[in-house]
Amino acid sequence: MKPDDEVAAELAQLAAEIHEHRRRYDVDDAPTISDAEFDALFARNAALEAEYPHLKRADSPSERVGSAPAANFGKIVHARPMLSLDNAFDEADVAEFIGRVRRFLRLAADEPVRLTAESKIDGLSASLRYEGGRLVSGATRGDGTTGEDVTANLRTLDDIPERLPAGSPDIVEVRGEVYLGKADFLAFNQAQIAAGSRIYANPRNFAAGSLRQLDVAVTASRPLRFFAHGWGELSAPLADTQSDTMAALAAMGFPVVADLTVIEGVEAATAAYRAIETARSALPFDIDGVVFKVDRLDWQERLGQVARTPRWAVAWKFAAEQATTRLLAIDIQVGRTGSLTPVARLEPVGVGGVIVTNATLHNEDEIERKDVRVGDIVRIQRAGDVIPQIVGHVTPEAEHAALEPFRFPTVCPECGSAAEREAGEVRRRCTGGLICPAQRVERLRHFVSRRALDIEGLGAERIVLFFEAGLVSTPADIFRLKDARDTLLEWKGFKPTSVDKLIASIDARRSPPFDRFLFGLGIRHIGEDRAREIARSFGSWEAFAARMTEAVERLRSRRAEGPALGEIPERHAARIAVELAEVIGVTRIGGEVAEALTDFFAEAHNTDVLDDLLGEVVVAPVERSAVGSEVSGKTVVFTGTLTTLSRDEARAQAEGLGARVAGSVSAKTDLVIAGEGAGSKATKAAALGVRVIDEAGWQAIVDAAR
């Protein structure tokens, strides 16, 4: 097994990469890696978490669905979460999925498990809400909890009924995919080429970009379509099974895929997969796999969900498409935290109808492992989106041996500072900090990005332009751009209307929400989810800043007692980090995050920049987290034999209510649920004065929280 520090570092890097790629896919509609490459990152993260569960991060990619909605649109909170699907890649994965369902429900060996099988549409997820038979709202998936309000845009789709038939339930939420047909996509791109305008890489990006238009007329002018594949809130059930409910939705006027069938067993699932895969090229729309769902809805209810995915469904993804091309160069890009990322420049090649020229190589270990060299003929694969994964080289051995191995730089290509790789880190980082122009520019770009302050009209290109002109070097300078209005008007392409619109957009962000502001600061390990968790824990920036002052004082006092944190034994450094986490006091915050926060606030140049910024903005508070149930935040233990549900189901219920499930009883235990034959744990709980209830008592707690 690897040392914990190495695993923790890799999990941190994976979390950052996966969250960034999700943002590019869900928010920007501009992914930079293939589906296959993203799935590989996610699978690696899941494997490490399974092997090292004690190192699982609070901002783990396995705990979230998508990305936060863009600030350009209003927000809609989904009545029921819009989940993502777990992936399967072969027959064995589907067999394991069925096995997990059997084990969770404690089914007899001869109990049939019927599944529905249907094409997985490659589009943009959307939710439609009907009240009293009328369409009242429509939203994108967003982060699974909150989506973008695109009601007006969705009303322009002919496939979406404005009214439901008489007799429909009072509340009906329909979930599905907005997509574009292949023929319509090709016709649009041909027209764009003729007009000398932008073309889209694939139908999914086109559909996403078309639906998320601020000008509804643009959406209306594009031939978007809709397929229903599920539902959210229903005031009354439509049927007892997945298949019959989908038939009911079709009868209400919603398009559903024609290939939906009910099957039983792994062999039938494989046959359904092969049949849909064979028909794929003849379909008038893009699909990227086959979705299997447990047909019985009462079983779906019992199975529930784990983090971002339902236990009752899985998507068997199609294999990646491959091609070969020549590796022309490996460029090094410097990110906002100083990380050096290698990017492969490829001789243009078509893969699955898309011309690709770039590939992400992740880090120096990846280059060494695959032994790719500039000049190699490389095999690439693509599964659904634009930038492919390099599988390896296929250059004849003699020719490959004559090529110069790639030497990863040990100095920053932007500022010349040393580029160091700390123990356990998978990336090399520039040590130049804010003297590195790349990092300063990337931090500014991050600050104004969609997930942070989301300043309309201030994109990456303009940030670079203003930085190079000396107008913007810190976040506060952005809010002082109005003082440079006359200067901007002298520049080519800057007209009074556009300059005033930019200044107005900046002024509109002078009261950013606490979570977006914190995320925008670009503090290492503080991703979007972590920033939201911290903001909801404190409510106001002032309360958080006061707690950080206390944490910094604790850090300085501990460092004054001995050598610097990085120079003392690892176990003591870890203890200090844990103490900092306790001082900060955020649920589930780790020592790594606590140390990153206190290090940031302990640096004078950071607090100077922050104080300057707070002179220009007022951070808006957010609603603090509410207690969700009687056992929210408490530690519970199940012991004995449970007769009405499996141990997995009980754990899922407890975690869903916000409780922590422990395996042993201690003084920190808050509640013990004792099933039949409960022994030493129940006895120990009684001796410690811990509350003990039976299975019926636990069910009462679950029912009360619903």
Residues serving a catalytic function are: 120
Burial of 343 (0-12, 13-18, 19+ CB in 10 A): middle
Which amino acid is residue 492, in one-letter code?
A: K
The whole-angstrom separation of Cα 346 and Cα 381 is 13
Written as six digits, the tokens of 38 are: 């993203």
How distant, in Å, are the alpha carbons of 83, 166, 173, 279, 634 from that of 133? Answer: 25, 7, 11, 36, 42
Q: H or E stretch including 40?
A: helix 35-51
Written as six digits, the tokens of 69 are: 């909605």
The neighbouring-strand residues paired with 305 are 310
**DSSP reduced 3-state for 151:** helix
How distant, in Å, are the alpha carbons of 110, 124, 149, 409 from that of 162? Answer: 45, 20, 16, 59
The whole-angstrom separation of Cα 488 and Cα 497 is 12
Measured CA angle at 140 (ends 139, 143), to 5 deg: 120
Q: H or E stretch including 174?
A: strand 171-180
If you write DSSP's letter for every residue of 71-104 in order, what string do you get?
Answer: TTS-EEE-SS-----EEE-SHHHHHHHHHHHHHH
Q: Are strands 671-674 and 691-693 parallel, antiparallel or unpaired?
A: parallel
Q: Report the phi/psi class of residue 640: left, alpha or beta, with left for phi > 0 and alpha for psi in -120 to 50.
A: left
Q: Are strands 389-393 and 419-420 parallel, antiparallel or unpaired?
A: unpaired
The whole-angstrom separation of Cα 360 and Cα 377 is 16
- Whose CA is closest to 583, among 557, 547, 542, 558? 547
Write the CB contacts of 243 (distance below 8 Å, at least 6 apart in sequence): 116, 260, 262, 295
Which amino acid is residue 183, in one-letter code?
A: A
Write the CB contacts of 655 (distance below 8 Å, at least 6 apart in sequence): 661
Written as six digits, the tokens of 668 are: 């920190």
495-519 CB burial, b ≥16 within 10 A, e <16:
eeeebeebbeebeebeebbbbbbbb
* Alpha helices (runs of H) in 561-694, residue ranges in sequence order: 570-584, 591-602, 604-614, 647-656, 680-688
CB 153 within 8 A of CB 138: yes
In the numeric block, the tokens 């498990």 are attached to 113
Q: H or E stretch including 325?
A: strand 321-334
- Whose CA is closest to 272, among 542, 138, 88? 88
If you write DSSP's letter for every residue of 499-544 in order, what string do you get?
Answer: HHHHHHHHHTTSS-BHHHHHHHTT-TT--HHHHHHHHHHHSSHHHH
Helix axes 91-105, 647-656, angle to 10 degrees: 90
Q: Dihedral of the CA atoms 326, 332, 333, 339 (nearest 10)?
A: 130
Taking the alpha carbons of 252, 254, 255, 259 in that order, is the dihedral positive or negative? Answer: negative
Query: 695-699: long-range contacts at Cβ-Cβ below 8 A with a sequence spacing of 24 or more?
Result: 695/642, 695/643, 695/644, 697/673, 698/650, 698/653, 698/673, 699/644
